[in-house]
Every structure is written in C-alpha cells, then in structure tokens.
A and B are shown apart, each in its own frame.
Chain A
Amino acid sequence: MAVGAFADRGADLELVGIEKRFPGFTAIENLNLTIPAGSFFALLGPSGCGKTTTLRLVAGLEEPTSGRILIGGADVTNQKSFQRPVNTVFQSYALFPHMTVLENVAFGLRRRKIGDPVAKAHEALLLVELDHLAHRKPQQLSGGQQQRVALARAIVNRPALLLLDEPLGALDLKLRRQMQLELKTIQEEVGLTFLHVTHDQEEAMTMADTIAVMNKGRIEQMGEPQQLYELPKTAFVANFLGQSNLFTGPVVSTTSTAIAVDVSGQKIVVPLERAHRISGEVTIGVRPEKLTLHAEEPTYNAGRNTMGPGKVIDVSFSGVSTQYLVAVPGVGTLVVFAQNMAFGPAAHVGAEVWLSWNVEHGFGLDDDPADAPRFEADLDTKTIAQQRRSSLVTELEEA
C-alpha cells in the first residue's frame, strides 16, 4: 500500500488454494474463498476449526504453507504484515498500554506518514463516540470502550480490508448486541470490506451479508445467513447454526417435485429442490420451531409431514418460547420450540403427542449418512456442560 495515502474503498479478498500446516497438524486444507469488496463477511466455526488461522494468514501474521492471498487483485502472499492494506481488531484489543487512546488511534497514521494524524484520530474517535476519553490510558476504559477504541484504531487507517477477530467475545450480552449494531452501521457508513471471525452463530447471522461455516480446516457451506439457516447442506451446519432434528432413512419414492423417505416406518416428504441427495440412504431434517405439537393424531394432509406418537420427556420454559423434548420410538428424541401464545404449556411431561410440519420446511443433507452418526439431540445439560468445559480448557491452554 502506498505510504501517505488511503485506500479509497474496500477491496476484494481472494484466497487461492491456501494450506497451512503446523508441526503435527493441518490447520487449513485447500481453502478457496472470494470476499467481494464492500461486503460484511463472517467466518463462523467452533474453536480449532481454522478460522483464526485464516484471519492471521490474511493479516500477514502467519505464512501459508502453500497457496496465494490476493487483495484487490494484487498478490500480497509475500508481503509482511506491516506492508498489507489490512487492519485487525484483535480479540484482546491489544491496545498499547503505554500510550493514550489518542496516540493508539494515531499510531498507524503516523507510521504511514499520513498528514494531520491527530485530527484524523479525533475524527475516528468521534465516530465511535469516545473523543471525550482521548487522553485516557486504555487501562482506564471499560471493556466496551476499549473495544471501540480498537475499532477506531483500525478503521482510521481506511484499510481495504478490516479483520475482526471475535472482537465482541469479552463483552456481556447486552453490550454485545449494541456493539453488533454499531459495527454494522459503521461498516455501511465507511463502505469497507469486513472479515469477521466468530464462533457465535447469532452474531454472525445478525451482522454478516455472507457467512462461511468452517469446520476442521474446511468450509462446509457458504451463503447468506437465511439461506444457510433454512437450507443447511451438512449435519454440521444444521447443528452449529441453530438446532435441527435430523432423521436417516432410505428414499422410497421420487416424484418430479419431492422425495419420500422412510424413517422407521413413517413416510417423510422433502421437496426435491430442498434435497441435496435424492437416492439411497439420506439424512433429512427440520428446524425445531417449524414443528407443531398435537395432542391427538392429526388427520392426513398432503402438505404436512406427521410423526408420532411420541412422549414428552422434558418441558423447559424460556420466556418467549417453550422447548419440548419428545421421544419418538424408533426415531429418537425430537426438539420442539413452541411460541408461548397462551399461558401455560401446551403439553406436560409424560403426555402422548404427535408432531407435524409443513413439507416445504424440511431439508435433505448432502452428507453420506454412513459417514455422519445418526443425530442425537444434544440439549441435555450434561452435553452443554461438557462443551462449556472443553471450550474453557482450550481457552485456558491458549492463554
């Protein structure tokens, strides 16, 4: 990037055949990705999926084992971090503790010898509404304020590409929501390309135009948030992005518009254009909020799939909705989210119920069912506790 001048707009980011191996394991294998200029792109995945490594490769903090990185069409693979037109909002913010907020924000401008760094730094601080704290030290600010300074320090440079490394992870829920909206607004205002790395699916869905779900060093699926949610391609996406009820069975008949799958003797129909596989053993699924509970067996309706009878084994109230766990013999445990339209639950533990959903809401996965284990609801507290613990352990190890 030319010293002394700003990039006038965001630039495309292109990753071509990127591979990154560390001693003992491969963090990323054959990654190809194009992020169009001016978009808000989220890289979503669990810890250890390679998303942070991807970000560090783009920032120039790591070198790829093979492959090329292009920003705005120019190959930057061999450029050092400080030569790239890229800035990062670090997960820990990494605000220099020995400088004031203003000096922090002006740091990059001074290094690039851009005129009037102090005035520009003040402008950036005004944008994040923190100009009144310009002369404080970072340690004297709250977490949310530090986060905004880190953002100002990055965007003041008008980078062609802004990298966000889970920048909201340390904030509490309410502040996080507020910052999500602010970030989105700022991105639209300044028109830069944002690459946001996160493990928080809600955050990714709220903010990003496009999401790439990453798992084990590969991109599982990429698309608009709604598309990813409504039509997941793999079991991993179906479960990482929200929850899903998944069933496995052979395709028993195919018409020009739909396939029918035999799930433990119950015939489930999925529209053809929503099914990634249309013959042999397939995995199909439906989102929990698309299910309707019935106290009696519903009458046959060509537009709806029915399953049951099953037994309610758990009811948990969460304000807006109530979550039911329904055990259906031969199929497994299904999750149902029901809006609380009336007072009191629609069914009690032990009740016999039937479930139905609109055929249009089902989806068929691309996974080979032989590869993916049959889905089990992972909603019991034990699993959640285990996940929390293992994520805590990795966090501690990283620290």
Chain B
Amino acid sequence: MAFAAFSTATAPSTDSVARRRSPVALFLLLPGILYLVLFFLTPLVSLLLTSFQTPREFGDIGQYDYAFRWQNYTEVITTYWPHIVRSFSYALAATFFALVISYPLAYFIGVTARKWPLLQSLMLVLVIAPFFISFLLRTLAWKQLFSDESFVVQSLKALSLLGPEAHVTGTAFSVIFGLTYNFIPFMTLPLYTTLERLDVRYLEAGNDLYASPFQVFRKVTIPLSMPGIVAGTLLTFIPAAGDYINASRDFLGGTGTQMMGNVIEANFLVLQNYPSAAALSIILMTVILVIVSIYVKRSGTEELL
C-alpha cells in the first residue's frame, strides 16, 4: 500500500526555508489533524481498550464489557504463538527474497540504464504496473498457476522435482512466494530512487583506489544505497507481517500457514472475539514498532523518519 512512502526518504530538506508563524497554519492543519486523531489515533486507543475487555456475564456471543483483563494477552500468546512466529518469519523471508531480487533490477534501471532515459521510464512503468491490477486477482493468478493440475506443477512432477503427492499451494513456500511477489515493487521503487542518485564517480574513485568490482559494491555501492535499502525493507516487512491474503486458504495458504492477520480477521469478523483480535493487533503493532525503531537506529538512517 505504502508505495509512495519512499519519497519521505528523498524529499529535499526544507529546514533552510524561512517559515512564518501565522494563524493560517492552524486553519490548514486543524481539519486534517483532527481527522487523523478521530479516525487513526482514537481507534488505536479503542483497540487497546478492547484488548482488555471481558465477556459480559450471561451475555450473547460478541458482547463484552470494559475491564482490565490482561489475561487476554497471555491467552492469545499461548494459543497463537505459532501464528505470531510465522508472521514475522514469513515476512522476514519475503523481505529478504524481495531485496535480493529487486536490488539488481533497481541497479540496472537506476544506474546502468541512465544513458537511455526512455528505457528507464518504460522499465519503471513495468515495475509499478502490478499496482494497476487488483492485488487479489494477481494472487489468485499465482494460485491457478501453482494448482495441482497446472502446467507448472505437472512439469515439476514429470521431472521428479516434486513428489507425486506433493502440492505447491497451501505450503509455506507458496505463501512466502506470494508475499515476495506482491511486495517486489515496494522494494524496487525506493531502491531505484537512491540508486538513481548514486554518483558513479564514487564507484570510479573506489576502482581507482584498488578496490575490485566486488569490493566497490560492498564498500561503496551498498553503504551509499542504505537509505533505499532501509525504506524498501520497511515498506515490504510491515505490510507483509500484517498480510492475510496470501496466507488465506482461498489464496496461496493452507491450514498450516495461517498468519497473525488471518487469526485477527477470524477472531474479529467470524468468531466475534473482539478482545483477542485487539490483543493480537496490539502485539503485532508493538513488535513492528520495536523492530522498526531498532532497525532504523542500527542502520543510521534516522533522518528517514
């Protein structure tokens, strides 16, 4: 979703501009900020409150009272710890694969293809093209392509690369594959924006100072493209950890691949167990915020935020 957030990393610094104090600022800010307070901040608060709710005595399913039932947290952790582990490990794997696949592509578009601007913009259009078609249909297309009767799976079985009883869909592989595929553009775009500004003279200087092409890549190119790597991995990791489409049984997942998103959805919308869904949401968000802040600090790219 967040495919424009990479531009936060690249927006020019505005600190040099002389800013004025004026009541106009209040007029400009207030409606939007109020909107976010009402529809972003207070929902988080009500999510937090819901996560401590207790079932109403003699009440119907889905009826809860405000309380401080912290056991909701220990209960969801003991029940759903495999989902929690799965969410973060799948997201981590998908982020890793998306980075490995996207970096060379972004390097080619941003550095090698500089001489041909038309090719460059054409390739960029192709990178964002998946955004123009429904996320769900794309994922379903992979499901059909990986179904047991599909050409791909039949060929793999004919070549004995896959056992006769094996499936592709419903496995951890297909879920991670789907997450990787769906978030490649989120990874490629921020990588492209930093690599596009990479001054090749630094690479030449590295070469001049006895660094082999591989050493130049490791010592110069990678560190200089760090803002893009950080932005891209965050834009992939965060939505991937919360995703429940790819892991859904109707898409690429199976019973053994359910992630946190799936159980949040099931608890909230099907079981009407709102406190559990809320507690899981709070856990998901807290873990992500902790990971993000540690990661951003360690990679030395605080200015990204």
The residues of A with any CB-CB pair to B shorter than 8 Å are 59-61, 80-83, 86-88, 90, 92, 94-98, 107-108, 111-112, 153, 157
- 10 A-B interface contacts by CB (under 8 A): A60-B207, A80-B207, A82-B216, A87-B209, A90-B201, A90-B204, A90-B205, A94-B199, A94-B202, A107-B209
CA distance A88 to B220 in the complex (A): 17
Q: Are B205 and A82 in contact (CB under 8 A)?
A: no
Q: Are A111 and B204 in contact (CB under 8 A)?
A: no
Q: Are A94 and B210 in contact (CB under 8 A)?
A: no
CA distance A97 to B198 in the complex (A): 11
CA distance A74 to B205 in the complex (A): 23
Q: Which residues of A contact B211 (CB under 8 A)?
A: 82, 107-108, 111
Q: Which residues of A contact B204 (CB under 8 A)?
A: 59, 61, 81, 88, 90, 94
5 smallest beta-carbon distances between A and B, as pairs: A108-B209, A94-B205, A81-B207, A111-B210, A94-B201
CA distance A90 to B206 in the complex (A): 11
Q: Which residues of A contact B210 (CB under 8 A)?
A: 82-83, 108, 111-112, 157
Q: Which residues of A contact B206 (CB under 8 A)?
A: 82, 96, 107
Beyond A88-B204, A108-B211, list 6 extra A-B contacts (CB 8 Å). Answer: A80-B207, A82-B216, A87-B209, A94-B199, A98-B224, A107-B209
- Known contacts A90-B201, A94-B204, A153 near B224 by CB under 8 Å: no
Q: Does B121 contact A (CB under 8 A)?
A: no
Q: Which residues of A contact B213 (CB under 8 A)?
A: 82
Q: Does B286 contact A (CB under 8 A)?
A: no
- Known contacts A94-B199, A98-B224, A111 near B205 by CB under 8 Å: no
Q: Does B215 contact A (CB under 8 A)?
A: yes
Q: Are B208 and A111 in contact (CB under 8 A)?
A: no
Q: Are B208 and A92 in contact (CB under 8 A)?
A: no
CA distance A82 to B207 in the complex (A): 5
| Nearest chain A residue, comparing its CB with the CB of B205 | A94
**Which residue of A87, A98, A112 contacts B208 across the interface (Cβ within 8 Å)?**
A87
A63, chain B: closest CB distance, angstroms: 13
A240, chain B: closest CB distance, angstroms: 27
Most B-side CB within 10 Å, residue of A60, A61, A153: A61
Q: Which residues of A contact B223 (CB under 8 A)?
A: 98
CA distance A97 to B201 in the complex (A): 12
Q: Which residues of B contact A112 (CB under 8 A)?
A: 210
Q: Which residues of A contact B220 (CB under 8 A)?
A: 96
CA distance A86 to B207 in the complex (A): 10
B49, chain A: closest CB distance, angstroms: 45
CA distance A96 to B199 in the complex (A): 10
A137, chain B: closest CB distance, angstroms: 12
Q: Are B209 and A157 in contact (CB under 8 A)?
A: yes
Q: Are B209 and A153 in contact (CB under 8 A)?
A: yes
Q: Which residues of B contact A83 (CB under 8 A)?
A: 210
CA distance A92 to B204 in the complex (A): 12
Q: Does B212 contact A (CB under 8 A)?
A: yes
Q: Which residues of B contact A153 (CB under 8 A)?
A: 209
CA distance A314 to B32 in the complex (A): 67
Q: Are B201 and A81 in contact (CB under 8 A)?
A: no
CA distance A96 to B209 in the complex (A): 12
Most A-side CB within 10 Å, residue of B204, B212, B216: B204
| Nearest chain A residue, comparing its CB with the CB of B219 | A107
| Nearest chain A residue, comparing its CB with the CB of B223 | A98
CA distance A96 to B207 in the complex (A): 12
Q: Are B212 and A96 in contact (CB under 8 A)?
A: no
A40, chain B: closest CB distance, angstroms: 20
Q: Are A96 and B202 in contact (CB under 8 A)?
A: yes
- Known contacts A96-B220, A97-B224, A98-B224, A86 near B202 by CB under 8 Å: no
CA distance A88 to B202 in the complex (A): 12
CA distance A219 to B133 in the complex (A): 60
Q: Which residues of B contact A92 (CB under 8 A)?
A: 199, 201
